[in-house]
Structure 1
Amino acid sequence: MSNLYERSLNVIPPVAARATKLGVVKGEGSYLITEDGKKVLDFASGVAVCNIGHNNKAVVEAATKQIQQLIHGGHNVVYYETYVKLAEKLVELTGGDTMVYFSNSGAEANEGAIKLAKYVSKRQGIISFKGSFHGRTLGTTSITASNSAYRKNYEGLLPSVYFAEYANCFRCPYKQKKESCSMECVEQFDDIFKRIIDPYSVAAIIMEPIQGEGGYIVPPKEFMKAIREICDKYGIYLIFDEVQTGFGRTGKMFAHENFDVKPDIMTCAKAIASGFPLSAVIGKKEIMKNWPAGAHGGTFGGNPVSCAASLATIEQLENGAIENGVESGAYLKKRLFELKEKYPIIGDVRGIGLMLAMEFVGENNVPNGRAVKNIINYSVEHGLILLNCGTYKNVLRFIAPTTVSKSEIDEALGIIEEAIVKEC
């Protein structure tokens, strides 16, 4: 038993849950080193944070250099180089017609995006999606619908929030088949606008381009394009939550590039700075310019060290890490499909880049969360960290760093197959 785990029991409340009981002292690339010196292959990447591996040398050097110059200046007080330079880089990456506001976490960025949309549109309604996860603050809990446990005992929440069905083709909420459906997931908005909220009262539709906590659900491209068209028709701002999907996770810098659809507002966090606290609200310039001084703020946003780490992270992604992630992701996905062919317990394999998942099922495709729990426990015992997702916790997600090697993938899959065999 981990000494760190045992010590934590008296001082850390259960709300600060962990996926494992491991105590770790160091990170190196795709591995974590435990307090008893064991190397553990990490296919959680700090929940999609360490997209270029743990303690990437370039990030460590950039952060160390910045620490020696300026740790905190306060972005409400002064301007400093790493902050402005990172904003310039993110504007470049998002087409040159955007502006950037920095904060600390994904939830904080999503709060900011909602405030921005409401303030500038002068509308109150927000439409989110079932299966979504946008954070754990009261505001972002209000727009989260991947699990009722996140909302329990916190009602009432932010008003004027409405939920639509996400395009989940494996478990279609309309019981349709992908090859023959009538895109009821798009038609639902006619009903929402007729029965529930007038479209001209909606400030924003917020969505993950690929749902994360909801089960690594990849929507059809035509669904994404249709949502963009709906927003354009009614003057609704389209917000993409790229907190988990951004910075190389899907083989592109941002996931929406896979769908040829651009948002009006985008939120980023997690992998933006390889583990240093940082997030960003990136919006079209004509929207951001109408968000006046004092309408939003925060003390620690855009910390100089975090911004330096982010610049180094982006440089690594652009100089080979994303390319390696595309190759490694294709290899991993191919191997996962091979497992699916061998084991009927695997109902679906899906994902893009290195945002991949296997959904485990029982008879008649009933969600099999028990199998996933057992596989995760077996994997941790044998040196591999994995996470689940999905409302029924029956989806095994793979969040390896973009720097992962094929030999590391083979190592992981060897452990996973042993665990699957035990479940069959």
Structure 2
Amino acid sequence: MNSSTLSSTHKIVPVASTETHARFGPKLTNSLPGPLAQKIVADDNRLLSPSYTRGYPLVVKRGRGCRIEDVDGNEFLDFTAGIAVNSTGHCHPEIVKAIQDQAAELIHMSGTDFYYDLMPRVAQRLSAIAPMPGPHRFYFGNSGAEAVECAMKLARYHTGRQNIISFFGSFHGRTMGALSLTASKPQQKRRFAPFVPGVTHVRYPYAYRGCSGGPQAEEEFGLGCARFIEEKLFKTTLPPEEVAAIFVEPIQGEGGYVVAPNAFLYEIRRICDRYGIMMVVDEVQSGAGRTGKWWAIEHSGVEPDIVCIAKGIASGMPLGICMSKAEVMDWVPGSHASTFGGNPLCLSAALATMDIIEREAMANAASVGAKALARLRTWIDRYEIVGDVRGRGLMIGIEIVKDKQSRTPVGSIRDRIVELAFGSGLLLLGCGETTIRLCPPLIVKQEEVDVALDTLEECIAAAME
């Protein structure tokens, strides 16, 4: 959808009015979009790049916690968190203070040419929570795509090899190297070839679309997807001694919030160990406490060689991080750098963010997310169009289908549900071909989750009419 093609008003789905809804729910005072929003959307359509994707005409003025206020005074429950970025909510006072205090001392001095203590301080904090044994080394950039670009270059440099394996459904970014790994939507690649050579895509263990059994069948399916690399790819078209890295998302983000079976991750690790390949995990969307652990890979116990970090690690400030085992980051000065990477404001925000995640937000994501998943899974039996519910912590996907038997994806119904939710004051995003994603701030209250799920359930029912 594009906001310029949407109608000027959005249908509001009635939701049962309770004291909880009155206190924790959205507050809509104008039609959507309101007059100020309509003007800004028109200006945006005239002036901004048409490559941006906007699902509905939300024009944001301010945010606090899990709430967004638009320019016309409407207040929404935000279950997007700026695409899983605002991990501590909007404008958390501790984050704001950290940024303000740092801005009064130093805004920029380029850590690629000079030194300041924030860089080793953040590195030490991250090393203490790394999903693989230390010692570690860190590279600071500005985004998830930059973290991935760093990991690509590092893997090639360290191994002296040129080829990389990625997975269908993956999203690693839109810069040319990261885009070469990405295999999420054809529009992301259309008319941009040639891409960085040496990338091979293989099947990701999307269990709902690959097998019809229970947990054991899903594990076996995951094992088969991984073994294809060794048993077919390495014996036909791709010599294993020429493979530098395998890039994998423990939970595919833009691909549909698809959780990889543990057996798949174990087997990828075994293959990497056998052939001297770097295992790179992309934790850009799944990391920073979102799944109830610091890193989604920790749910499996698998230890990677390189980790890509961004989004929620700095609560909205632009920070991308490539973390590796120390012996892997063996390149020499001048091999890779970034003028703005590791900006003092961003690193200060990251330290404050990690404090909040460790103190309360990660445990809250695990607890509140488990309750949400339990409730959502009852919808599979209740609603014919809810085909699957999956996720960990507060990274939850709801797959919308035509019917249970065919499992036919219907993106148009998914988009309709998201649009109805907007009209009812709940901000959602889609992902994959036909999935609704729930990725609220990690500090979301149980009452806010209850209101959001009540609203979403009413929107699903309305979309079926």
TM-score band w.r.t. shorter chain: over 0.9
- Note if contact 1:270-1:279 (Cα within 8 Å) is conserved in structure 2: yes
Which residue identity does 2:462 align to in structure 1? K
Structure 2 equivalent of residue 369 of structure 1: 411
2-structure distance, mates of 1:283, 1:210: 20
Structure 1 runs (4+) deviating above 4 angstroms are 174-178
Structure 2 equivalent of residue 348 of structure 1: 388
Structure 2 equivalent of residue 140 of structure 1: 178
- Note if contact 1:169-1:178 (Cα within 8 Å) is conserved in structure 2: no
2-structure distance, mates of 1:61, 1:186: 46
2-structure distance, mates of 1:98, 1:19: 40
2-structure distance, mates of 1:19, 1:259: 34
Structure 1 equivalent of residue 425 of structure 2: 383
Residue by residue over 1:209-262, the C-alpha shift from the partner in whole angstroms, topping out at 9 and shown as x without a partner, is: 110001111111111011000000000000001000110110001111111011
Which residue identity does 1:118 align to in structure 2? R
Deviation of the 1:18 alpha carbon: 2.1
Structure 2 equivalent of residue 207 of structure 1: 248
2-structure distance, mates of 1:350, 1:302: 34
Which residue identity does 2:286 align to in structure 1? T
Deviation of the 1:414 alpha carbon: 1.7
Which residue identity does 1:380 align to in structure 2? F
Deviation of the 1:177 alpha carbon: 6.9
Paired residue for 2:348, among 308, 319, 324? 308
Q: Is 2:157 the counterpart of 1:119?
A: yes
Which residue identity does 2:278 align to in structure 1? Y
Which residue identity does 1:272 align to in structure 2? I
Which residue identity does 2:317 align to in structure 1? F
Structure 2 equivalent of residue 286 of structure 1: 327
Deviation of the 1:175 alpha carbon: 7.7
> How many aligned positions are there?
420
2-structure distance, mates of 1:347, 1:278: 36
- Note if contact 1:104-1:278 (Cα within 8 Å) is conserved in structure 2: yes
Residue by residue over 1:39-95, the C-alpha shift from the partner in whole angstroms, topping out at 9 and shown as x without a partner, is: 111100000001111111111111110000000011122111222211111112114
Paired residue for 2:298, among 224, 233, 257? 257
Q: Secondary structure at the match of 1:291?
A: coil
- Note if contact 2:134-2:325 (Cα within 8 Å) is conserved in structure 1: no
Paired residue for 1:59, among 95, 98, 107? 95
Deviation of the 1:186 alpha carbon: 2.3
What percentage of aligned pairs have identical amino acids? 40
Structure 1 equivalent of residue 76 of structure 2: 40
Residue by residue over 1:382-407, the C-alpha shift from the partner in whole angstroms, topping out at 9 and shown as x without a partner, is: 101101111x2x10110011111111
Paired residue for 1:318, among 350, 358, 363? 358
Which residue identity does 2:84 align to in structure 1? A
Deviation of the 1:176 alpha carbon: 7.5
- Note if contact 1:169-1:177 (Cα within 8 Å) is conserved in structure 2: no
Q: Secondary structure at the match of 1:96?
A: coil
Paired residue for 1:171, among 200, 209, 216? 209
Deviation of the 1:370 alpha carbon: 1.5
Structure 2 equivalent of residue 401 of structure 1: 441
Structure 2 equivalent of residue 276 of structure 1: 317
Q: Structure 1 residues 175 and 147, CA, compared in 2 at 3 Å: closer, same or farther?
A: farther
1-structure distance, mates of 2:112, 2:389: 46
What's the TM-score once normalised by structure 2's chain length? 0.88
Residue by residue over 1:319-354, the C-alpha shift from the partner in whole angstroms, topping out at 9 and shown as x without a partner, is: 011111111101111121122221121010100010
Q: Is 2:202 the counterpart of 1:161?
A: no
- Aligned residues: CA RMSD: 1.3
Q: Is 2:367 the counterpart of 1:327?
A: yes
Which residue identity does 1:59 align to in structure 2? I
Decide which moves more: 337-346 or 207-216.
Answer: 337-346
Q: Is 2:51 the counterpart of 1:11?
A: no
Which residue identity does 1:343 align to in structure 2? Y
Paired residue for 2:275, among 212, 222, 234? 234
Which residue identity does 1:92 align to in structure 2? A
Decide which moves more: 177-186 or 10-19.
Answer: 177-186
Deviation of the 1:178 alpha carbon: 5.5
Which residue identity does 1:308 align to in structure 2? S
Which residue identity does 1:299 align to in structure 2? T
Q: Secondary structure at the match of 1:170?
A: helix
2-structure distance, mates of 1:298, 1:108: 9
Paired residue for 1:414, among 454, 458, 464? 454
- Note if contact 1:242-1:255 (Cα within 8 Å) is conserved in structure 2: yes
Paired residue for 1:20, among 56, 63, 78? 56
Deviation of the 1:292 alpha carbon: 0.9
Structure 1 equivalent of residue 13 of structure 2: none
Which residue identity does 2:337 align to in structure 1? G
Q: Secondary structure at the match of 2:46?
A: coil
Q: Secondary structure at the match of 1:50?
A: coil
